[in-house]
C-alpha cells in the first residue's frame, strides 16, 4: 500500500459518501443503534463509529486562529 496524502484520503471518503446519496450521519446513527443491540462484543466498533461521526459533524466547520 502506497502512502497517501490526507487530502487524497479526504477526497476518496467524500466521493464514497456522495455516491450512496444518503445522509452519512443518519447511517452512522443506525449502525450505532445496531451495535448497542449487539452488546459488549462490539464495544470497539462503537468507539470507531463515534469518532467517524465527530469527524463528519465537524467537516464543514472552519478552525479559528
pTM: 0.51
Inter-axis angle of helices 6-20 and 24-38, to 10 degrees?
Answer: 90
End-to-end CA distance of the chain: 35
Looking at residue 44, its pLDDT comes to 72
Looking at residue 63, its pLDDT comes to 60
pLDDT at 5 exceeding the cut of 80: yes
Q: What is the pLDDT of residues 14-45, one digit of tens each?
A: 777 777 777 877 878 888 888 788 776 566 77
Could you tell me what percent of the chain has a pLDDT over 70?
A: 82
Distance CA 17, CA 11 (A): 10
Looking at residue 19, its pLDDT comes to 78
Distance CA 25, CA 28 (A): 5
Amino acid at each position: 500500500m502506497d502512502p497517501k496524502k490526507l487530502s487524497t484520503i479526504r477526497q476518496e471518503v467524500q466521493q464514497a459518501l456522495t455516491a450512496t446519496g444518503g445522509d452519512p450521519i443518519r447511517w452512522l446513527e443506525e449502525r450505532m443503534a445496531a451495535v448497542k443491540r449487539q452488546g459488549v462484543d462490539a464495544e470497539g466498533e462503537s468507539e470507531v463509529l463515534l469518532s467517524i461521526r465527530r469527524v463528519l459533524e465537524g467537516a464543514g466547520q472552519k478552525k479559528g486562529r
